[in-house]
Amino acid sequence: MRIPKAALGVFLALVLVAAGIHFLVFSEGPAEPENQAENPAAKAGLPSPGPGKAGASGESTATAPDQKVEAAPLPVKVAKAVKSDLVMTLKSPGEAYSEKRIAMKAEVGGVVRNLYAAEGRHVREGDLLVELDDREFRLRLEKLEAQRLRFLSELFLEKQFSVTGQQPAPGLIDKLDKAQADYERASEAFKKGLVSQADLEKAQADYELALIDAGRKKDEVMASCKGLTQADVDVKIARIDVEKTRIRAPFAGIVTDIKLSPKERLDPGRELFTLVDISRIKVKAKVLESEVGKVVAGRDVDLLFSAFPGRAFKGRIEAVSPVINAEDKTCAVHVTMDNQSEEVKPGMHAEIEIPIEIFKDRLLVPQQAILVRGGRKLVFAVEGGVAKWRYLEVGLENERFAEVLPGKEPGWGVSEGDTVIIEGQLTLAHDTRVSIVD
Protein backbone atom coordinates (compact mmCIF):
# COMPACT_ATOMS: atom_id res chain seq x y z
CA MET A 1 0.00 0.00 0.00
CA ARG A 2 1.32 3.38 -0.80
CA ILE A 3 1.39 6.08 1.95
CA PRO A 4 0.67 9.60 0.81
CA LYS A 5 3.49 12.10 1.22
CA ALA A 6 1.25 14.51 3.16
CA ALA A 7 0.50 11.94 5.88
CA LEU A 8 4.20 11.05 6.21
CA GLY A 9 5.09 14.68 6.75
CA VAL A 10 2.51 15.11 9.52
CA PHE A 11 3.86 11.99 11.33
CA LEU A 12 7.45 13.27 11.33
CA ALA A 13 6.31 16.63 12.70
CA LEU A 14 4.53 14.96 15.64
CA VAL A 15 7.67 12.95 16.49
CA LEU A 16 9.82 16.08 16.60
CA VAL A 17 7.32 17.91 18.90
CA ALA A 18 7.22 14.95 21.33
CA ALA A 19 11.03 14.82 21.53
CA GLY A 20 11.20 18.52 22.38
CA ILE A 21 8.64 18.27 25.16
CA HIS A 22 10.53 15.31 26.71
CA PHE A 23 13.81 17.25 26.70
CA LEU A 24 12.28 20.30 28.42
CA VAL A 25 10.60 18.27 31.21
CA PHE A 26 13.55 16.10 32.29
CA SER A 27 16.29 18.79 32.13
CA GLU A 28 14.79 20.85 35.09
CA GLY A 29 15.97 20.26 38.78
CA PRO A 30 13.89 18.61 41.52
CA ALA A 31 10.86 20.53 42.59
CA GLU A 32 10.80 22.39 45.97
CA PRO A 33 8.91 20.58 48.77
CA GLU A 34 5.27 21.54 48.63
CA ASN A 35 4.97 21.72 52.48
CA GLN A 36 7.50 24.36 53.52
CA ALA A 37 6.71 23.79 57.18
CA GLU A 38 9.01 20.78 56.93
CA ASN A 39 11.93 23.16 56.30
CA PRO A 40 11.82 26.09 58.80
CA ALA A 41 14.87 27.74 57.35
CA ALA A 42 13.34 27.81 53.90
CA LYS A 43 10.08 29.19 55.27
CA ALA A 44 11.92 32.03 56.97
CA GLY A 45 13.90 32.77 53.88
CA LEU A 46 17.21 31.67 55.57
CA PRO A 47 19.80 29.38 54.07
CA SER A 48 19.39 25.77 55.11
CA PRO A 49 21.99 24.60 57.71
CA GLY A 50 24.69 22.41 56.30
CA PRO A 51 25.80 19.11 57.75
CA GLY A 52 27.20 19.43 61.25
CA LYS A 53 25.67 22.95 61.85
CA ALA A 54 23.19 23.80 64.60
CA GLY A 55 19.54 23.88 63.54
CA ALA A 56 16.64 25.89 64.92
CA SER A 57 16.60 23.79 68.10
CA GLY A 58 20.17 24.89 69.01
CA GLU A 59 21.55 21.33 68.93
CA SER A 60 25.06 20.78 67.58
CA THR A 61 26.45 17.56 66.12
CA ALA A 62 30.05 18.69 65.48
CA THR A 63 32.63 21.28 66.42
CA ALA A 64 33.44 24.27 64.36
CA PRO A 65 36.65 23.82 62.33
CA ASP A 66 38.49 26.55 64.30
CA GLN A 67 37.55 25.15 67.79
CA LYS A 68 40.35 23.00 69.56
CA VAL A 69 39.31 19.93 71.64
CA GLU A 70 41.25 19.47 74.97
CA ALA A 71 41.61 15.84 76.20
CA ALA A 72 40.85 14.93 79.81
CA PRO A 73 43.90 14.31 82.08
CA LEU A 74 44.97 10.68 82.39
CA PRO A 75 45.00 9.21 85.93
CA VAL A 76 48.44 8.06 87.16
CA LYS A 77 50.13 6.93 90.37
CA VAL A 78 53.42 8.48 91.41
CA ALA A 79 56.39 8.19 93.78
CA LYS A 80 59.29 10.43 94.75
CA ALA A 81 62.91 10.13 93.70
CA VAL A 82 64.75 9.82 97.01
CA LYS A 83 68.26 9.56 98.36
CA SER A 84 68.60 6.40 100.40
CA ASP A 85 70.65 3.25 100.86
CA LEU A 86 70.51 0.72 98.04
CA VAL A 87 70.44 -2.77 99.51
CA MET A 88 71.57 -5.72 97.38
CA THR A 89 69.81 -8.87 98.56
CA LEU A 90 70.22 -12.60 98.33
CA LYS A 91 67.09 -14.76 98.12
CA SER A 92 66.81 -18.14 99.77
CA PRO A 93 63.87 -20.50 100.40
CA GLY A 94 63.09 -21.49 103.96
CA GLU A 95 60.50 -23.02 106.24
CA ALA A 96 58.96 -21.63 109.41
CA TYR A 97 59.22 -23.55 112.66
CA SER A 98 58.83 -23.01 116.39
CA GLU A 99 61.47 -23.91 118.95
CA LYS A 100 58.93 -24.13 121.78
CA ARG A 101 57.00 -27.21 120.71
CA ILE A 102 56.62 -30.32 122.86
CA ALA A 103 54.55 -33.48 122.89
CA MET A 104 52.98 -33.70 126.34
CA LYS A 105 53.01 -37.23 127.85
CA ALA A 106 51.57 -38.88 130.95
CA GLU A 107 54.28 -39.57 133.55
CA VAL A 108 52.00 -41.83 135.61
CA GLY A 109 49.08 -44.04 134.64
CA GLY A 110 45.48 -43.52 135.60
CA VAL A 111 41.95 -42.67 134.52
CA VAL A 112 41.31 -39.19 133.06
CA ARG A 113 39.10 -37.45 135.60
CA ASN A 114 39.00 -34.02 133.95
CA LEU A 115 40.24 -32.85 130.56
CA TYR A 116 40.71 -29.08 130.37
CA ALA A 117 42.82 -29.03 127.20
CA ALA A 118 40.98 -28.22 123.96
CA GLU A 119 42.10 -27.97 120.36
CA GLY A 120 43.40 -24.46 119.66
CA ARG A 121 43.07 -23.32 123.27
CA HIS A 122 45.54 -20.68 124.45
CA VAL A 123 46.99 -21.53 127.84
CA ARG A 124 49.34 -19.84 130.28
CA GLU A 125 52.31 -21.35 132.02
CA GLY A 126 51.10 -23.47 134.94
CA ASP A 127 47.50 -23.89 133.69
CA LEU A 128 45.94 -27.25 134.60
CA LEU A 129 45.33 -29.26 131.40
CA VAL A 130 44.59 -32.83 132.51
CA GLU A 131 43.61 -34.24 135.90
CA LEU A 132 43.94 -37.99 136.56
CA ASP A 133 42.21 -39.96 139.31
CA ASP A 134 44.75 -39.70 142.18
CA ARG A 135 43.07 -41.83 144.88
CA GLU A 136 45.46 -44.75 144.48
CA PHE A 137 48.48 -42.44 144.68
CA ARG A 138 47.17 -40.66 147.77
CA LEU A 139 46.56 -43.94 149.59
CA ARG A 140 50.11 -45.00 148.86
CA LEU A 141 51.39 -41.67 150.16
CA GLU A 142 49.42 -42.05 153.38
CA LYS A 143 50.83 -45.57 153.87
CA LEU A 144 54.41 -44.40 153.43
CA GLU A 145 53.89 -41.42 155.75
CA ALA A 146 52.58 -43.79 158.47
CA GLN A 147 55.61 -46.03 158.03
CA ARG A 148 57.92 -43.05 158.30
CA LEU A 149 56.17 -41.92 161.48
CA ARG A 150 56.73 -45.38 163.03
CA PHE A 151 60.45 -45.28 162.26
CA LEU A 152 60.69 -41.77 163.68
CA SER A 153 58.98 -42.83 166.92
CA GLU A 154 61.31 -45.80 167.38
CA LEU A 155 64.35 -43.59 166.89
CA PHE A 156 63.06 -41.03 169.34
CA LEU A 157 62.53 -43.65 172.05
CA GLU A 158 65.97 -45.14 171.54
CA LYS A 159 67.61 -41.73 171.85
CA GLN A 160 65.73 -41.03 175.05
CA PHE A 161 67.24 -44.07 176.82
CA SER A 162 70.72 -43.98 175.25
CA VAL A 163 73.84 -42.84 177.12
CA THR A 164 74.82 -39.31 176.19
CA GLY A 165 77.84 -37.16 176.81
CA GLN A 166 80.51 -39.64 175.69
CA GLN A 167 83.58 -37.93 174.20
CA PRO A 168 85.45 -39.55 171.27
CA ALA A 169 89.00 -40.78 171.83
CA PRO A 170 91.82 -38.27 171.02
CA GLY A 171 93.11 -40.51 168.22
CA LEU A 172 89.74 -40.44 166.48
CA ILE A 173 89.69 -36.63 166.64
CA ASP A 174 93.13 -36.46 164.96
CA LYS A 175 91.95 -38.94 162.30
CA LEU A 176 88.85 -36.84 161.67
CA ASP A 177 90.84 -33.61 161.30
CA LYS A 178 93.24 -35.25 158.83
CA ALA A 179 90.38 -36.76 156.79
CA GLN A 180 88.62 -33.39 156.67
CA ALA A 181 91.78 -31.60 155.48
CA ASP A 182 92.40 -34.27 152.81
CA TYR A 183 88.84 -33.92 151.54
CA GLU A 184 89.04 -30.13 151.35
CA ARG A 185 92.35 -30.29 149.43
CA ALA A 186 90.92 -32.88 147.02
CA SER A 187 87.84 -30.73 146.48
CA GLU A 188 89.92 -27.66 145.58
CA ALA A 189 92.20 -29.70 143.35
CA PHE A 190 89.21 -31.22 141.56
CA LYS A 191 87.84 -27.75 140.78
CA LYS A 192 91.17 -26.90 139.12
CA GLY A 193 91.27 -30.19 137.23
CA LEU A 194 94.27 -31.55 139.14
CA VAL A 195 92.61 -34.73 140.46
CA SER A 196 90.03 -37.14 139.05
CA GLN A 197 86.43 -37.71 140.12
CA ALA A 198 87.46 -41.05 141.64
CA ASP A 199 90.09 -39.39 143.85
CA LEU A 200 87.53 -36.85 145.10
CA GLU A 201 84.97 -39.56 145.90
CA LYS A 202 87.60 -41.61 147.86
CA ALA A 203 88.55 -38.55 149.95
CA GLN A 204 84.87 -37.88 150.65
CA ALA A 205 84.26 -41.49 151.73
CA ASP A 206 87.25 -41.41 154.11
CA TYR A 207 85.98 -38.19 155.66
CA GLU A 208 82.48 -39.59 156.21
CA LEU A 209 83.91 -42.76 157.85
CA ALA A 210 86.00 -40.60 160.17
CA LEU A 211 82.85 -38.64 161.10
CA ILE A 212 81.06 -41.87 161.96
CA ASP A 213 83.98 -43.15 164.04
CA ALA A 214 84.08 -39.89 165.98
CA GLY A 215 80.34 -40.13 166.69
CA ARG A 216 79.56 -36.96 164.72
CA LYS A 217 77.05 -38.77 162.48
CA LYS A 218 75.52 -40.96 165.15
CA ASP A 219 71.99 -39.65 164.65
CA GLU A 220 72.19 -40.04 160.86
CA VAL A 221 73.52 -43.58 161.19
CA MET A 222 70.83 -44.56 163.67
CA ALA A 223 68.13 -43.10 161.43
CA SER A 224 69.47 -45.03 158.48
CA CYS A 225 69.62 -48.27 160.45
CA LYS A 226 66.04 -47.83 161.58
CA GLY A 227 64.88 -47.25 157.96
CA LEU A 228 63.91 -43.65 158.58
CA THR A 229 66.07 -42.24 155.83
CA GLN A 230 64.58 -44.55 153.21
CA ALA A 231 61.09 -43.80 154.51
CA ASP A 232 61.72 -40.09 153.99
CA VAL A 233 62.76 -40.76 150.39
CA ASP A 234 59.73 -42.96 149.72
CA VAL A 235 57.37 -40.28 151.03
CA LYS A 236 58.95 -37.64 148.79
CA ILE A 237 58.61 -39.87 145.72
CA ALA A 238 54.97 -40.61 146.54
CA ARG A 239 54.24 -36.89 146.83
CA ILE A 240 55.79 -36.30 143.42
CA ASP A 241 53.62 -39.06 141.93
CA VAL A 242 50.51 -37.40 143.33
CA GLU A 243 51.57 -34.14 141.69
CA LYS A 244 52.09 -35.93 138.36
CA THR A 245 48.39 -36.77 138.23
CA ARG A 246 47.79 -33.06 137.59
CA ILE A 247 49.35 -32.22 134.21
CA ARG A 248 50.10 -28.52 133.77
CA ALA A 249 51.36 -26.36 130.91
CA PRO A 250 55.16 -25.95 131.12
CA PHE A 251 54.95 -22.70 129.14
CA ALA A 252 52.37 -20.42 127.53
CA GLY A 253 51.19 -21.66 124.16
CA ILE A 254 48.44 -23.29 122.09
CA VAL A 255 47.11 -26.82 122.52
CA THR A 256 46.84 -28.93 119.39
CA ASP A 257 46.66 -32.56 118.20
CA ILE A 258 44.75 -33.91 121.22
CA LYS A 259 44.97 -37.73 121.55
CA LEU A 260 42.95 -38.56 124.67
CA SER A 261 39.37 -38.46 125.92
CA PRO A 262 37.73 -37.97 129.33
CA LYS A 263 37.41 -41.17 131.43
CA GLU A 264 40.06 -42.90 129.32
CA ARG A 265 42.68 -44.98 131.16
CA LEU A 266 46.21 -43.90 130.38
CA ASP A 267 49.47 -45.80 130.66
CA PRO A 268 52.68 -44.07 131.73
CA GLY A 269 54.41 -42.51 128.72
CA ARG A 270 51.19 -42.14 126.70
CA GLU A 271 51.27 -39.10 124.36
CA LEU A 272 48.42 -36.71 125.19
CA PHE A 273 48.66 -33.63 122.93
CA THR A 274 51.09 -31.06 121.55
CA LEU A 275 51.78 -27.67 123.09
CA VAL A 276 53.31 -25.06 120.81
CA ASP A 277 54.23 -21.41 121.24
CA ILE A 278 54.12 -19.47 117.94
CA SER A 279 54.45 -15.96 119.35
CA ARG A 280 58.01 -16.11 118.03
CA ILE A 281 58.81 -17.95 114.80
CA LYS A 282 62.10 -19.10 113.35
CA VAL A 283 62.92 -19.68 109.68
CA LYS A 284 65.82 -21.80 108.51
CA ALA A 285 67.36 -20.81 105.19
CA LYS A 286 70.24 -22.20 103.15
CA VAL A 287 72.94 -20.01 101.62
CA LEU A 288 75.61 -21.18 99.16
CA GLU A 289 79.09 -21.31 100.63
CA SER A 290 80.21 -18.77 98.00
CA GLU A 291 77.80 -16.21 99.51
CA VAL A 292 77.93 -17.06 103.21
CA GLY A 293 80.79 -14.64 103.84
CA LYS A 294 78.41 -11.76 103.04
CA VAL A 295 75.74 -12.86 105.55
CA VAL A 296 76.04 -11.11 108.92
CA ALA A 297 74.27 -12.14 112.13
CA GLY A 298 72.09 -9.38 113.59
CA ARG A 299 71.11 -7.90 110.22
CA ASP A 300 67.41 -7.34 109.41
CA VAL A 301 65.79 -9.37 106.62
CA ASP A 302 62.46 -9.50 104.76
CA LEU A 303 60.37 -12.66 104.91
CA LEU A 304 57.86 -13.35 102.11
CA PHE A 305 55.36 -16.14 102.80
CA SER A 306 53.34 -17.88 100.08
CA ALA A 307 50.25 -17.53 102.26
CA PHE A 308 50.53 -13.70 102.21
CA PRO A 309 51.38 -12.63 98.63
CA GLY A 310 52.71 -9.11 98.28
CA ARG A 311 53.35 -8.71 102.01
CA ALA A 312 56.77 -8.61 103.68
CA PHE A 313 57.41 -9.58 107.31
CA LYS A 314 60.44 -8.32 109.21
CA GLY A 315 62.94 -10.71 110.76
CA ARG A 316 66.51 -10.74 112.01
CA ILE A 317 69.41 -13.11 111.40
CA GLU A 318 69.97 -14.84 114.73
CA ALA A 319 72.83 -17.14 113.79
CA VAL A 320 74.88 -18.39 110.85
CA SER A 321 75.90 -22.04 111.12
CA PRO A 322 79.65 -22.62 111.51
CA VAL A 323 79.37 -25.79 109.39
CA ILE A 324 78.96 -26.18 105.60
CA ASN A 325 76.79 -29.07 104.42
CA ALA A 326 79.10 -31.40 102.51
CA GLU A 327 76.34 -32.65 100.20
CA ASP A 328 74.93 -29.42 98.74
CA LYS A 329 77.67 -26.97 99.86
CA THR A 330 75.22 -24.73 101.68
CA CYS A 331 75.26 -23.09 105.09
CA ALA A 332 72.24 -22.87 107.41
CA VAL A 333 71.06 -19.38 108.38
CA HIS A 334 68.57 -19.04 111.25
CA VAL A 335 66.17 -16.07 111.21
CA THR A 336 63.78 -15.07 114.00
CA MET A 337 60.64 -12.95 113.75
CA ASP A 338 57.96 -11.72 116.16
CA ASN A 339 54.58 -13.31 115.51
CA GLN A 340 52.32 -11.91 118.21
CA SER A 341 49.38 -11.92 115.78
CA GLU A 342 50.01 -15.66 115.19
CA GLU A 343 49.44 -15.23 111.45
CA VAL A 344 52.51 -17.23 110.46
CA LYS A 345 52.21 -20.95 111.22
CA PRO A 346 55.03 -23.47 111.66
CA GLY A 347 55.61 -25.33 108.41
CA MET A 348 54.80 -22.40 106.11
CA HIS A 349 57.08 -21.90 103.12
CA ALA A 350 58.99 -18.63 103.06
CA GLU A 351 61.38 -16.76 100.81
CA ILE A 352 64.03 -14.82 102.68
CA GLU A 353 65.61 -11.67 101.27
CA ILE A 354 68.98 -11.39 102.98
CA PRO A 355 70.90 -8.11 102.58
CA ILE A 356 74.47 -8.85 101.56
CA GLU A 357 75.73 -5.42 100.42
CA ILE A 358 74.55 -1.91 101.30
CA PHE A 359 75.45 1.11 99.14
CA LYS A 360 74.98 4.31 101.11
CA ASP A 361 73.23 7.54 100.02
CA ARG A 362 72.22 6.79 96.41
CA LEU A 363 69.59 8.63 94.32
CA LEU A 364 66.85 6.04 93.72
CA VAL A 365 63.66 5.66 91.70
CA PRO A 366 61.25 2.69 91.82
CA GLN A 367 61.73 0.04 89.15
CA GLN A 368 58.04 0.43 88.16
CA ALA A 369 58.80 3.93 86.93
CA ILE A 370 61.41 2.90 84.35
CA LEU A 371 60.46 2.38 80.69
CA VAL A 372 62.59 1.47 77.68
CA ARG A 373 61.93 3.29 74.42
CA GLY A 374 64.21 3.22 71.46
CA GLY A 375 66.67 1.15 73.45
CA ARG A 376 67.04 3.87 76.11
CA LYS A 377 65.72 3.96 79.67
CA LEU A 378 63.47 6.80 80.74
CA VAL A 379 60.89 7.87 83.29
CA PHE A 380 57.94 10.23 83.14
CA ALA A 381 58.22 13.08 85.63
CA VAL A 382 55.20 15.20 86.54
CA GLU A 383 55.65 18.96 86.15
CA GLY A 384 52.61 21.20 86.66
CA GLY A 385 50.15 18.43 85.84
CA VAL A 386 52.00 17.45 82.66
CA ALA A 387 54.05 14.28 82.05
CA LYS A 388 57.60 14.97 80.83
CA TRP A 389 59.86 12.16 79.84
CA ARG A 390 63.41 12.11 81.14
CA TYR A 391 66.14 9.86 79.85
CA LEU A 392 68.12 8.10 82.60
CA GLU A 393 71.61 6.80 83.17
CA VAL A 394 71.02 3.82 85.49
CA GLY A 395 73.66 2.48 87.88
CA LEU A 396 73.19 -0.26 90.48
CA GLU A 397 69.83 -2.00 90.69
CA ASN A 398 67.89 -4.39 92.87
CA GLU A 399 64.38 -5.72 92.40
CA ARG A 400 62.71 -2.63 93.84
CA PHE A 401 64.91 0.35 93.05
CA ALA A 402 67.38 1.62 90.48
CA GLU A 403 70.19 4.09 91.07
CA VAL A 404 70.06 7.24 88.92
CA LEU A 405 73.48 8.48 87.79
CA PRO A 406 74.24 12.02 86.59
CA GLY A 407 72.89 12.53 83.05
CA LYS A 408 75.11 12.53 79.99
CA GLU A 409 73.24 15.47 78.45
CA PRO A 410 71.34 18.52 79.78
CA GLY A 411 67.79 17.64 80.79
CA TRP A 412 68.61 14.01 81.49
CA GLY A 413 67.82 12.29 84.78
CA VAL A 414 65.86 13.35 87.84
CA SER A 415 66.67 15.14 91.08
CA GLU A 416 65.88 14.27 94.66
CA GLY A 417 62.22 14.99 95.39
CA ASP A 418 61.07 14.82 91.75
CA THR A 419 57.72 13.11 91.20
CA VAL A 420 57.88 10.15 88.82
CA ILE A 421 54.99 8.10 87.47
CA ILE A 422 54.94 4.44 88.55
CA GLU A 423 51.54 3.38 87.20
CA GLY A 424 49.61 4.47 84.11
CA GLN A 425 52.64 5.62 82.10
CA LEU A 426 52.86 2.80 79.56
CA THR A 427 50.81 4.64 76.92
CA LEU A 428 51.79 8.22 77.81
CA ALA A 429 53.35 10.66 75.39
CA HIS A 430 55.50 13.66 76.19
CA ASP A 431 53.48 16.67 77.48
CA THR A 432 50.37 14.58 78.22
CA ARG A 433 48.18 16.09 80.91
CA VAL A 434 47.84 13.79 83.94
CA SER A 435 46.02 13.70 87.26
CA ILE A 436 47.58 12.02 90.32
CA VAL A 437 45.48 9.41 92.11
CA ASP A 438 46.16 7.52 95.31
Q: Tens digit of pLDDT for each residue in 250-309? A: 999 999 999 999 999 999 999 999 999 999 999 999 999 888 888 889 999 999 999 999
Task: Sort residue 220 into left (φ over 0), alpha (ψ -120 to 50) or beta.
Answer: alpha
Residue-wise DSSP of 362-424: EEEEEGGG-EEETTEEEEEEEETTEEEEEE-EEEEE-SSEEEEEPPSSTT-S--TT-EEEEES
Percent of all residues in the chain with a pLDDT value above 70, rounded to a whole number? 75
When pLDDT is cut at 50, 70 and 90, the band that residue 332 belongs to is very high
When pLDDT is cut at 50, 70 and 90, the band that residue 34 belongs to is very low
pLDDT score of 68: 56
Higher pLDDT, 246 or 54: 246
Tell me how far apart the alpha carbons of residues 49 and 42 are, in angstroms, rounded to a whole number.
Answer: 10
As a whole number, mean pLDDT of residues 180-207 equals 86
For 127-152, b/e burial (b = at least 16 CB within 10 A) is eebbbbebebbeebbeebeebbeebe
When pLDDT is cut at 50, 70 and 90, the band that residue 399 belongs to is confident
Report how far Cα 424 is from the mean position of its chain's Cα atoms.
Answer: 30
By the 10 Å C-beta count (0-12 exposed, 13-18 middle, 19+ buried), 279 is classed as middle
What residues have CB less than 8 Å from 92, skipping those under 6 apart?
Answer: 285, 286, 287, 333, 351, 352, 354
Tell me how far apart the alpha carbons of residues 166 and 18 are, in angstroms, rounded to a whole number.
Answer: 179
pLDDT score of 201: 80
Domains and CATH numbers, the chain: 77-84+361-436 (2.40.420.20), 87-99+277-359 (2.40.30.170), 101-133+245-276 (2.40.50.100)
| pLDDT above 90 (res 109) | yes
pLDDT score of 38: 41
pLDDT digits (tens, 9 = 90+) for 80-108: 999 999 988 888 899 999 989 999 999 99
| pLDDT above 70 (res 386) | yes
pLDDT score of 228: 61
When pLDDT is cut at 50, 70 and 90, the band that residue 41 belongs to is very low
Mean pLDDT rounded to a whole number for the chain: 81
As a whole number, mean pLDDT of residues 360-370 equals 94
| pLDDT above 60 (res 174) | yes
As a whole number, mean pLDDT of residues 54-71 equals 50
Contact at 8 Å (CB) between 335 and 355? no
Long-range contacts of 165-168 (CB under 8 A, 24+ apart): 166/215, 168/213, 168/214, 168/215
pLDDT digits (tens, 9 = 90+) for 208-242: 677 666 665 555 555 554 556 787 788 889 999 99
| pLDDT above 70 (res 119) | yes
Answering whether pTM is above 0.75, one says no
| pLDDT above 90 (res 113) | yes
Tell me how far apart the alpha carbons of residues 93 and 287 are, in angstroms, rounded to a whole number.
Answer: 9
As a whole number, mean pLDDT of residues 42-70 equals 44
Tell me how far apart the alpha carbons of residues 196 and 178 are, in angstroms, rounded to a whole number.
Answer: 20
pLDDT digits (tens, 9 = 90+) for 295-304: 889 999 999 9
Contact at 8 Å (CB) between 389 and 379? yes
| pLDDT above 50 (res 25) | no
DSSP structure class, residue 277:
-
When pLDDT is cut at 50, 70 and 90, the band that residue 155 belongs to is low
| pLDDT above 70 (res 121) | yes
SS3 100: coil
